Structure 1
Amino acid sequence: MYKSLFLISVALSSAGCSRSADESAAPVEAMNARVEAPAAPEPPAQPAVTGTTFEDDAESNGGKRTFDYSWPAAVNRIPELAARFEADRAKQLAEQKGDWQEAIKASPEECGACRNRDFEKEWKVVADLDDWLSLSADFYVYTGGAHGNHGKSSLVWDRERKRGMKGVELFNSAVALETALGAKLCDALDQERAKRRGEPVTRDGEWSTDCPGIDEATVLVGSSDGTAFNRIGIYFGPYVAGAYAEGDYELDFPVNASVLDAVKPQFASAFKVGS
């Protein structure tokens, strides 16, 4: 009997220990569950930077006016540059509107084209470097008459100094760059003119056969590897290197040691020899 009572006591004691162990484990598991931090929410996606396209068209008294001005996303990533283009756009639009209103009032009724005005300007990226953004702008302007005028301009933005300049301003002078390119400039131009004219170009003192200087050109600075300026573009607009019907001429050259010597010292680090 005593043996039975002893066994019963041991059994009850063991059961009590088992319950105690189970009950003591539950709060630890619960505590562990509470200290696990919830997953951090994903940050909201930032809207992609896009380019800007602006249009403003109108018609009145038989006259039409069109206005288009655009620039790429790279410009909108630079607030100061975007503000500069916005100001230029507002200025050009105001001038066109004023000129158009005057044309509507003053133009003969039978001259419909006299009351038409067109303006287009599209900025494009030439080279996007860490410290520089090189841009070109294709533009077209019609202010009445037989045809409009078109051309190309350049702007190079210095990210560090937050200022813009024409491509030619990176060089000591237009003459210095022209000297650095040497005979290659005129030879390349004559080759292109010969293709369009169907005959070799003979320089006979006429403006259409002469070799214009870089002071009459637009200078573009480009890059083939995205690390430094190693290409030079020389653009001659209509009437500069040939008749209007021939169009414009754009020539491309690699940067060489002579061109590097023509670069202003403060901008030398932005250039390297190209191939």
Structure 2
Amino acid sequence: MVFEAKVLGPVEAVRDGRAVALGSPKQRAVFALLVLNAGRVVPTERLVEELWGEHPPDSPSSAVQVYVSRLRRSLRADPPTGPPAAQEQAPVTLRRRGGGYQLDLPGRCVDAEQFATLVASGRELLAQRPADARQVLEEALALARGPALADVVATLGPTGAAEARRLDDLRLLAEQARLQALLAQGEAATAAADAGALVRRHPLQEDLRALHVLALYRSGRQAEALAAYEEVRRQLAEELGVDPGAALRALHDRVLRQDPALDPAPPAA
């Protein structure tokens, strides 16, 4: 049996290619919190706080118990019928422990864990092996189906929302590292187009804006690179009341001067 727990997008559980019914939004939120803390006890009090904040229902612990009981039934696998090699190597178990609940999952079945491992590997490869880095980062980004915890983040409290932001920030970091890999491979036009799409989603992210300016410049589009800088300068002033940071201002100056150091390095032999 192959089990997958997915939180990089709408929350899903998949067993042997078939979706597992996770129930109502609050029940799905409980599953997401347990997945993000797989192998560790999540106290009932924390689940109550995340689901209802300062306005819990009567007997909130009982309500959580009902959600967990329903999830346990949904996650329970049918008895294996195939040969031992085809049977589940590690069961999915959801149990009560020490005033809370613990979800134990097979290794490498949570998309967020796979994603973090791939992003770290891709960033490590970036300096010396950009082609390999790009391949690994694209494999990581393929796991993301949308904003993290997309269908339950509005149901969760501050801890769950913070975890969703952390995963989304890691996704942006992976996307920026992929742009760096494209630039290192001399694919400035592709990097400029992809950076432009990302800028529309993250208009005030200065590191991303710098990559967009650099990609435009290396594509032979100096005027557009300068216009991209002016756009972010104006947006930062209007929305945050600040000027671009020192790194972005320095890049703008180098683009104006057509600094030869901005040209791509020759490809490695």
Highest relative contact order (Cα 8 Å, sep 6+), 1 or 2? 2
Q: Higher helix share goes to which structure?
A: 2
Q: If you compute each CA radius of gyration, which structure gives the higher value, 1 or 2?
A: 1
Q: Higher strand share goes to which structure?
A: 1
Tell me if both proteins adopt one fold, taking TM over 0.5 as the criterion. Answer: no
TM-score normalised per structure 1: 0.26
TM-score normalised per structure 2: 0.26
